[in-house]
């Protein structure tokens, strides 16, 4: 399932940021938030793409982090079927970031819609994009395509683009862990 190219890219980046920057568990192992010294590298890795090599400042990192935590909370609300809570939080994010759409020419010459804040700083731009991407997903009745991994010992998030909307795991690794555990249970019982 495709939203549109910009929303797809923003949602993918949102998932990468949430999974990289928020503490919890990943595949049965503790996943701490990156220490301050590693934060810039984790953010750059999550947002980098061909032709874009960002250099966020320390302030950008401080300003972006609360929006990434809010994005995790949105996905958790959606995963729990609390769409009203998710929409309320996204509306607060949109107001806080002052996200507004603009048409920008992409490197291939085509026009693309992007979401910006009132200034072009790294943190404001990404924060506005995250808020707008989540709003587009919820407003387009596609909020159910965002979720939290169902594997025991994992709370990483995912975006589902499959046709049948059956994604329940953040990765094939977690899906395989759950399938292997179910197989072991069946063979012990049989």
- Write down the residue that tokens 């965002």 correspond to: 146
CATH number of the CATH domain containing 172:
1.10.3300.10
3-class DSSP state for residue 184?
A: helix
Nearest to 66 by CA among 115, 22, 98: 22
Domain with 33 in it:
5-189
The sign of the CA dihedral 7, 132, 139, 146 is positive
- Write down the residue that tokens 């994604």 correspond to: 167
Q: Is the pLDDT of residue 2 over 80?
A: no
Query: Which residue pairs, CB below 8 angstroms and at least 24 apart, start in 169-173?
Result: 170/19, 170/26, 171/27, 173/27
Beta bridge partners of residue 135, listed in sequence order: none
Higher pLDDT, 71 or 167: 71
Q: Give the Å distances, CA to CA, from 118 to 122, 129, 164.
A: 12, 12, 38
Range 52-81 average pLDDT: 96
Q: Is the pLDDT of residue 1 over 60?
A: no
Phi, psi of 72 (to 5 degrees): -60, -45
- Write down the residue that tokens 């320390």 correspond to: 58
Q: What is the rounded distance in angstroms from the CA atom of residue 173 to the CA atom of residue 190?
A: 26
Report the domain count for the chain. 1
Model confidence pLDDT, tens digit, residues 123-180: 999 999 999 999 999 998 788 899 999 999 999 999 998 888 888 899 999 999 988 8
Q: What is the rounded distance in angstroms from the CA atom of residue 136 to the CA atom of residue 4?
A: 10
Range 85-93 average pLDDT: 98
């Amino acid at each position: 399932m495709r939203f549109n190219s910009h929303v797809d890219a923003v949602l993918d980046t949102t998932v990468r940021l949430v999974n990289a920057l928020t503490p919890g568990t990943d595949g049965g192992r503790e996943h701490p938030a990156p220490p301050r010294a590693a934060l810039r590298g984790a953010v750059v890795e999550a947002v980098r793409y061909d032709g874009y090599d960002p250099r966020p400042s320390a302030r950008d990192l401080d300003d972006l982090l609360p929006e990434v935590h809010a994005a995790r909370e949105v996905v958790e609300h959606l995963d729990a079927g609390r769409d009203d809570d998710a929409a309320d939080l996204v509306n607060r994010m949109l107001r806080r970031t002052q996200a507004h759409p603009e048409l920008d020419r992409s490197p291939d010459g085509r026009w693309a819609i992007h979401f910006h804040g009132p200034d072009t700083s790294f943190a404001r731009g990404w924060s506005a994009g995250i808020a707008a991407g989540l709003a587009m997903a919820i407003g387009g009745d596609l909020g159910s395509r965002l979720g939290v991994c169902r594997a025991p010992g994992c709370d990483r998030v995912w975006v589902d683009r499959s046709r049948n909307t059956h994604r329940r795991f953040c990765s094939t690794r977690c899906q395989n862990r759950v399938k292997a555990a179910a197989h072991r249970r069946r063979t012990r019982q049989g």
